[in-house]
Amino acid sequence: DRSWATMLRSGQFTSKLSSKAQRRFESEFEAIKKLEFTVRNIYGFLCGILDRQWEMQLDMACDIFDEITKYSPDNSCFYKGYVSNAKHKTCGYRLKSTRFILPGNTAYFSGSLSYEAQRRLEDFDKVFGMLDGKTEPYFGLAHAFNNQIDELKAGARVSTEFFDCRLYVQAGTIHFYVKSKEVIDRLNKLVGQH
């Protein structure tokens, strides 16, 4: 167990995964840890990760899409369709490219993010970074909420790598304005194709 766990941590396999994808990966890793720690099994494990990379990225994109759409019907709309195709509109959701609104709990308004709140914001950055092809660290939402909370509480619109965001303390919501229409279109196409 210790050898497999050390290999997993040293390889930083989960650093680019969203929190839900990490949980899925760790639950599957429990079965891997039962294997003998040999060179052949290690190479098999690494090849398995490479083979499933696309599937893990698709799951991450779907998780973020679901996270955005589950709180408000205003965050999504139908793809443009014709009246004669009204029966097909039920499967044609896409995220709006202008903004989306998510509820914020007290962790977002206090000035020190809880672990779960931090992970949720990092998940957005990881998926949008993946869709934009970025691999290096970037100025993300969690950093903005940790370091610019006073400006956010005052109603300022704070800019990060992929989003502009504004906090509405009275309403208890966070408005995210996506900076790149191309990235949100990639997310919509990827989830739509799936």
Assign 71 to helix, strand or coil.
coil
**Confidence at residue 83, expressed as pLDDT on a 0 to 100 scale:** 53
**Confidence at residue 82, expressed as pLDDT on a 0 to 100 scale:** 52
**Confidence at residue 97, expressed as pLDDT on a 0 to 100 scale:** 77
**Confidence at residue 111, expressed as pLDDT on a 0 to 100 scale:** 65
**Confidence at residue 77, expressed as pLDDT on a 0 to 100 scale:** 64
**Confidence at residue 11, expressed as pLDDT on a 0 to 100 scale:** 64
User: Under a CB-based contact definition with an 8 Å cutoff, are residues 187 and 95 in contact?
Assistant: yes
The pLDDT profile of the chain, 194 residues, written as one tens digit per residue, is 888 878 777 767 677 777 788 888 778 888 888 888 889 988 888 888 888 888 888 888 888 888 888 877 776 665 555 555 555 545 567 777 788 888 876 666 666 777 888 888 888 888 888 888 887 767 888 888 888 888 888 888 999 999 899 988 888 888 889 888 898 888 888 888 88
What is each CA distance from 112 to 70, 105, 108, 173, in whole angstroms? 25, 12, 7, 17
Prediction pTM value:
0.78
**Confidence at residue 117, expressed as pLDDT on a 0 to 100 scale:** 82
**Confidence at residue 3, expressed as pLDDT on a 0 to 100 scale:** 84
- Give DSSP secondary structure letters for 84-118: GGGGGGGG-EEE-SS-EEEE--HHHHSSS--HHHH
